[in-house]
Amino acid sequence: MPDLRFINAHHSPLGAFASFTLGYPGASGGFDLERGQPPKEPVFVMLESANAAGSFDALPFCDAMSQDEAARFSTAHDDLNRIGASVSINVFPDEAIRREFGIARDSWRAGDLRFTVLTPALSAPDPDVADEAALKAAFVPAVYVEIEVDNSNHERARRVAFGYAGSDPYRAMCHMKTPELVGVGQGREVAILTDAPGAWSGIGFHPGLILGDALVENRGWALGQCGLLVAEVAPRAVTRLRYAIGFHRAGIVTSGIDASYLYTRWFDSAVSAARFALDRFDEAAADAADAEANLRASALSEEQRFMLAHATRAYLGSTQLLQRDGRPLWVVNEGEYRMINTFDLTVDHLFHELAHHPWAVRNVLDLYRDHYSYRDRTRLPGDSTEYDGGIAFTHDMGVANVFSARGHSCYERSGLSGCFSQMTHEQLTNWVLCAGAYVEQTDDEVWLRDNAGTLFDCLQSMILRDHPDAEQRDGVMHADSSRCSGGAEITTYDSLDTSLGQARANTYLAGKCWASYLALERLLTRLGRSDAAAQAALQARRCAETLVAAVQPDGTLPAVLEPGTPGFASRIIPAIEGLVYPWFCGRRDACNPDGPYGAYVKALRTHLDAVLKEGVCLFADGGWKLSASSDNSWLSKIYLAQFVARKILGMPASRTARSDRAHAAWLVDPRNAFWSWSDQIEAGYAIGSKYYPRGVTASLWLKEATD
């Protein structure tokens, strides 16, 4: 198990697009509200020495703050320098630090200090129907902190300081007070509140100016970017101090579609959120303990538990529950890229969301249907003739709180064949697959009936994208969207080579087409549209047959079914990806090697066995390499493929244990660990999709023992 002590991780409420990011050494974490990256703020968690007043030991999340701030006012600061010099801050050495890293509880211990962040909000009731009290507790934009000081062996009271230097460019640090509580934060947006008896807030250019000044009347000073809450713990005792950290953004926060945070129904500032959170601290702590117990009780290995917890945190920090005209609007932001509800991520978040808040899937599907669908025409490669197309869905809904225009993503361009090209067909399968899994898991019959027309349209659109000439249809995509303007559609694997990047005739996308036809067959059958269901079944059969027929003499499938191309020569693990969907769309029959698609399933199992070897789809460290022809491998998709391999294709868990160790090692690599959870790993180095929600595909692993 790799050393987890020095990785940044998200600590987030649900739906607030916020994170108290912490763990990487130096000024590397902080309070991320709508940023999509670690804010690089110094975070101060400090305990005064038992022996020397004014000497503080600190967790390693701060660095010496610049003195420039005072120098901007004047160069002569002898008095202030004297005050500052009376305080020394010593970062605990690495070897003194222990960390317990869980899914809802993250705890550092060093010396007599224990610092614990609790983030219990994993699930939430449907905001369209749940009562307000339950919603308020589920969506309070706050996280919880406990500081425990074991002063039982010491005779002196000692000071504890917790705070940070804010980096918001618009608002100053701010003393916060309620009748019973004291707090510090920045503007109205971030607040740390405590009910610790006798605690007080300080603001200054650096911590020494706050902690070193004996004059109580200077505690109201408010210049400088550093804010601390200071409390004192008694001698000969173990003391626990509680804090709540509130995040808040008021008013309309988006454009394109005007929306505010749902939590503004109950909270008008970070202070009001943190106050509410402090009141329910015990409940939150119990919820966090339950979440940890559940995870520990799973059959997962230590590495798996780590990756699941880490990825889930990053997902939570990317979630954003808005409201538009009073109705909920669910958003998952795409990590560092901040694209809104990127659809090819939605389909990966699907499994976690169905387990924890299935209404979010419905919410996204509805907005795609109503606002981000379009109708196009199609073209065949090298031919400018346009053929009938059909309904399709955009890649995303915009970026960084800016919703894009109706029927358009922020991402897709015309005239390209690589990154930023159209993702038409893949997003079409994503709407179908999310719908199929949502209906299967929730039995939401009303929604199914409301969407009968769209589902039928999706089927027709998929068929037309197979081939304009009905005679030549083989279940696999051959026609690109007219929106490509002569370019070619891509898949979600936009930064890989054509082995996974090209949509047309791609074995990966073909697997998702097959799964989509199966899902449509089931949904249309439920809707009593047996003719359409039969059309879907025919397409599914054609697709499976095409793929089985493409198996090469060595038992592998080409990445792209276009002989003579580089993609044809390559091999990809995600050939098996499509198998996950029938499993969740009520079509486990199709996943059975002895079932109706047994030949296809067996072919995939053979393929996987054949490619999972070093030099093909394994790195030297045992990590999975999604494409034989690219070193860029994506952990989110590896996690998903591992579920398929073990749960559906029957690969023994022992065969993935070494890879899990490799994958965990990638995440804690000091080159990568600043970025919390990252997806695109090129030979061990995170090159993109950092600070990213997608790894929540790991939640599939919890289904392996139970489903």
Residues in touch with a copy of itself (CB under 8 A): 33-35, 72-80, 169-176, 187-188, 213, 215, 217-218, 220-223, 250-252, 255-256, 268-269, 336-338, 398-402, 404-405, 408, 410-420, 483, 485, 487, 494-495, 687-688
Residue 174: C-alpha distances to residues 160, 183, 221, 222 (Å): 19, 8, 10, 7
* Least distance to a copy of itself, CB of residue 402, Å: 4
Residue 634, Cα to own-chain centre: how many angstroms? 13
* Least distance to a copy of itself, CB of residue 178, Å: 13
Secondary structure of residue 346 in the 3-state scheme: helix
First to last CA, the chain: 27
* Least distance to a copy of itself, CB of residue 518, Å: 32
**β 480-481/373-379 pair status:** antiparallel
3-state secondary structure 500-536: HHECCCEHHHHHHHHHHHHHHHHHHHHCCCHHHHHHH
Distance CA 604, CA 449 (A): 34
Secondary structure of residue 165 in the 3-state scheme: strand
Nearer to a copy of itself by C-beta: 24 or 205? 205
Nearer to a copy of itself by C-beta: 306 or 411? 411
Per-residue DSSP letter, 585 = T
Distance CA 325, CA 472 (A): 48
Nearer to a copy of itself by C-beta: 376 or 577? 376
Nearer to a copy of itself by C-beta: 483 or 522? 483
Distance CA 416, CA 686 (A): 25
* Least distance to a copy of itself, CB of residue 35, Å: 6
* Least distance to a copy of itself, CB of residue 629, Å: 13
Q: Is 357 left (phi over 0), alpha (psi -120 to 50) or beta?
A: beta
Nearer to a copy of itself by C-beta: 141 or 398? 398
Nearer to a copy of itself by C-beta: 256 or 358? 256
Nearer to a copy of itself by C-beta: 79 or 155? 79
Nearer to a copy of itself by C-beta: 69 or 609? 69
* Least distance to a copy of itself, CB of residue 216, Å: 9
Nearer to a copy of itself by C-beta: 189 or 303? 189
The CB density around residue 222, as the number of other CB atoms within 10 Å, is 13
C-alpha atoms less than 13 angstroms from C-alpha of 390 in its C-beta half-sphere:
21
CB burial string 594-615: b at 16+ within 10 A, e below? eebbebbbbbbbbbbebbbeee
* Least distance to a copy of itself, CB of residue 477, Å: 21
Nearer to a copy of itself by C-beta: 30 or 60? 30
* Least distance to a copy of itself, CB of residue 69, Å: 10
* Least distance to a copy of itself, CB of residue 263, Å: 14
DSSP H or E stretch at residue 369: helix 359-371
* Least distance to a copy of itself, CB of residue 339, Å: 8
Nearer to a copy of itself by C-beta: 213 or 232? 213
Distance CA 192, CA 206 (A): 17
CB burial string 356-367: b at 16+ within 10 A, e below? bbbbbbbbbbbb
3-state secondary structure 232-288: EECCCCEEEEEEEEEECCCCCCCECCCCEEHHHHCCCCHHHHHHHHHHCHHHHHHHH
Contacts with 279 (C-beta within 8 Å, 6 or more apart), sequence order:
none
DSSP letter string over 191-218? Answer: EEEE--TT-EEEEESSHHHHHS---GGG
Nearer to a copy of itself by C-beta: 248 or 646? 248
The CB density around residue 457, as the number of other CB atoms within 10 Å, is 18
* Least distance to a copy of itself, CB of residue 488, Å: 11
* Least distance to a copy of itself, CB of residue 171, Å: 5
* Least distance to a copy of itself, CB of residue 552, Å: 27
What angle do helix axes 507-526 and 424-442 make, rounded to 10 degrees? Answer: 40
Per-residue DSSP letter, 11 = -
Which two three-digit tokens encode residue 502?
A: 């090209």
Nearer to a copy of itself by C-beta: 26 or 256? 256
